[in-house]
Amino acid sequence: MSADLSRRSFFRIAAAASAVATVPILTEGHLAHAQRRRFMGRHVPADAVRIDANENPLGPCSGACASISSLIPEGGRYDGELTEKFMSTFCEMEGLKSEYVIPYAGSSEPLHYTVLAFTSKDKPYVTADPGYEAGMRAADLNGAKIIKVPLTSTHTHDVKAMVAASPNAGVIYICNPNNPTGTITNREDIEYAITNKPKGSILLIDEAYIHFSDATPSLDFVKADKDVVVLRTFSKIYGMAGVRCGLVVARPDLLEKVMFYGMNAMPIMAVAAATASLQDKDIIPQRKKINADIRTQTFEWLTANNYGPFTASQSNCFMLDTKRDGKQVQAAMAKKNVYIGRVWPAWPTYVRITVGTQSDMQKFQAAYKEVMNSTAAGLEPLQLPARFAKTPFTHFS
Ligand SMILES: Cc1ncc(COP(=O)(O)O)c(C=O)c1O
């Protein structure tokens, strides 16, 4: 962000601050935590298999860990230079101008803020179904209509239907690859959406999982000044979900509207770890291969055992048809100390599975076989933490 933009924005935000409603930021972690509590009270057993939150079990790379450790004594400092270094490293790698990028502690915040900025009572939020719920939550809080467009028969975004869903769409959300299915949206479809979307609507392209896949990134649309907002996070391939670092990339005039809803100083350890991760040229190909190998082995095992079908994921999660009530399968798996992902209302027999370590997936296989050979278990209703319960929200099951 240029000094000018930041100064202008700061004063605008400060002047308008009293008019801005704060919203609780809903993350994958909250959703997984709510599920875990449903099954075993407050605490996850230390030896539990946690394949319910699309986390990366490998954690931060060695360079990121070294940066974090070396910065502990500096924890008393704000040290904005570390954020500047992070931004310049990212911008240089991606060929972006600095005023097109804002860092946040994860991409959940800019995801919410983009939806708040560009939807309203008259400007709906259009999303794929099943799709990641956080944007729906923000749209709901904003009083915006939520239009859910079913995935195609191959479980990809039905971009044509999404674009046609509302002439007044405020935000059309494309998660590429999609959470929860792991399926990708190809370049032609994204181009179609940019060319044919209603005038004034924003295409929000969430690339949280892009590095696991062969999908083409969409940053060049931002560089070409299109009505596109791209989200990136270090929570997935870089294994920094608990460290918290992400980015929003868009035209400066769009970013100003996003920032209006919130900005903060970045945690110094997060930006230093993210910089070290970007500088590690091997981490993406290495981790992409590890994830793909374990995912392929899991798919082979499912196929050999006549389980499924499952979605053609290119990511670290996939949806698996249990051919039963998915919530009961979840509960039964939890009893075996294997915590699998949630069920989406549109697909009640499917559960989301995160690709864990080889050992995680072996334990998953053993437990899944036992569950499939047994009768279903009972289930308590899902209870989000109280701060999320103020507004009724019906997009979880
Ligand atoms: C699709 C998608 N977008 C954004 C996020 C936000 O992640 P974070 O706030 O950890 O960067 C997640 C988290 O799982 C996600 O699945």
Q: What is the atom index within ligand 1 of the atom nearest the CA of 241?
A: 10
Q: What is the atom index within ligand 1 of the atom nearest the CA of 111?
A: 4
Neighbours of 16 (CB within 10 A): 11
Mutate which of 50, 54, 108, 231 for ligand 1 pocket (most atoms within 8 A of beta carbon): 108
Longest dimension (CA), the chain: 64
CB 172 within 8 A of CB 189: no
Q: Is the pTM of this model over 0.85?
A: yes
CB 152 within 8 A of CB 181: no
Neighbours of 143 (CB within 10 A): 10
Q: Give the span between the Cα atoms of 298 and 359, in whole angstroms.
A: 11
Measured from the CB, is residue 235 less than 6 Å from ligand 1? yes
pLDDT given for residue 32 in this prediction: 80
Q: Give the span between the Cα atoms of 341 and 112, in whole angstroms.
A: 22
pLDDT given for residue 2 in this prediction: 46
Measured from the CB, is residue 176 less than 6 Å from ligand 1? no
Q: Give the span between the Cα atoms of 28 and 325, in whole angstroms.
A: 22
pLDDT given for residue 6 in this prediction: 53
Q: Give the span between the Cα atoms of 316 and 304, in whole angstroms.
A: 21
Categorise residue 2: left if φ over 0, alpha if ψ from -120 to 50, beta otherwise: beta
How big is the CA angle at 54 (ends 51 and 55), to the nearest 5 degrees?
A: 85
Residue 314 CA to ligand 1 center (angstroms) comes to 16
Measured from the CB, is residue 174 less than 6 Å from ligand 1? no
Q: Measuring from atom 2 of ligand 1, which residue has the nearest CA?
A: 208
Mutate which of 27, 181, 240, 342 for ligand 1 pocket (most atoms within 8 A of beta carbon): 27
- 124 contact partners, CB below 8 Å, separation of at least 6: 139, 144, 145, 146, 147, 165, 166, 168, 169, 170
pLDDT given for residue 45 in this prediction: 86
CB 219 within 8 A of CB 94: yes
Q: Give the span between the Cα atoms of 310 and 317, in whole angstroms.
A: 10
pLDDT given for residue 332 in this prediction: 94
pLDDT given for residue 389 in this prediction: 57
Q: Measuring from atom 15 of ligand 1, which residue has the nearest CA?
A: 208
| Joined tokens for residue 194 | 């940019």
Q: Give the span between the Cα atoms of 36 and 34, in whole angstroms.
A: 6
Measured from the CB, is residue 106 less than 6 Å from ligand 1? yes
Q: What is the atom index within ligand 1 of the atom nearest the CA of 132?
A: 1
Residue 208 CA to ligand 1 center (angstroms) comes to 6
| Type of residue found at 394 | T
Residue 369 CA to ligand 1 center (angstroms) comes to 30
pLDDT given for residue 44 in this prediction: 78
Question: H/E/C letters for each residue in the chain?
Answer: CCHHHHHHHHHHHHHHHHHCCCCCCCCHHHHHHHHHHHHHCCCCCCCCEEECCCCCCCCCCHHHHHHHHHHHHHCCCCCHHHHHHHHHHHHHHHCCCHHHEEEECCCHHHHHHHHHHHCECCECEEEEECCCCHHHHHHHHCCCCEEEEECCCCCCCCHHHHHHCCCCCCEEEEECCCCCCCCCCCHHHHHHHHHHCCCCCEEEEECCCHHHCCCCCCHHHHHCCCCEEEEEECCCCCCCCCCCCEEEECCHHHHHHHHCCCCCCCCHHHHHHHHHHHHCCCHHHHHHHHHHHHHHHHHHHHHHCCCCCECCCCCCEEEEECCCCHHHHHHHHHHCCEEECCCECCECCEEEEECCCHHHHHHHHHHHHHHHCCCCCCCCCCCCCHHHCCCCCCCCC
- The number of CA neighbours under 13 Å toward the Cβ of 341 is 25
CB 320 within 8 A of CB 302: yes
Measured from the CB, is residue 210 less than 6 Å from ligand 1? no
pLDDT given for residue 286 in this prediction: 98
Measured from the CB, is residue 298 less than 6 Å from ligand 1? no
Q: Give the span between the Cα atoms of 123 and 144, in whole angstroms.
A: 6
| Joined tokens for residue 92 | 């240089």
Q: Give the span between the Cα atoms of 397 and 384, in whole angstroms.
A: 11
pLDDT given for residue 66 in this prediction: 98
Categorise residue 343: left if φ over 0, alpha if ψ from -120 to 50, beta otherwise: beta
| Joined tokens for residue 191 | 């181009």
Measured from the CB, is residue 316 less than 6 Å from ligand 1? no
Measured from the CB, is residue 27 less than 6 Å from ligand 1? yes
Instruction: Find the helix packing angle between 252-259 and 3-16, rounded to 10°.
Output: 40
Cis link prior to 130 (omega < 30° from 0)?
A: yes
Mutate which of 104, 206, 230 for ligand 1 pocket (most atoms within 8 A of beta carbon): 206
Per-residue pLDDT of the chain (397 residues; tens, 9 = 90+): 444 445 445 445 444 444 456 788 888 888 887 777 766 666 778 899 999 999 999 999 999 999 999 999 999 999 999 999 999 999 999 999 999 999 999 999 999 999 999 999 999 999 999 999 999 999 999 999 999 999 999 999 999 999 999 999 999 999 999 999 999 999 999 999 999 999 999 999 999 999 999 999 999 999 999 999 999 999 999 999 999 999 999 999 999 999 999 999 999 999 999 999 999 999 999 999 999 999 999 999 999 999 999 999 999 999 999 999 999 999 999 999 999 999 999 999 999 999 999 999 999 999 999 999 986 544 444 455 566 655 555 555 5
Measured from the CB, is residue 233 less than 6 Å from ligand 1? yes
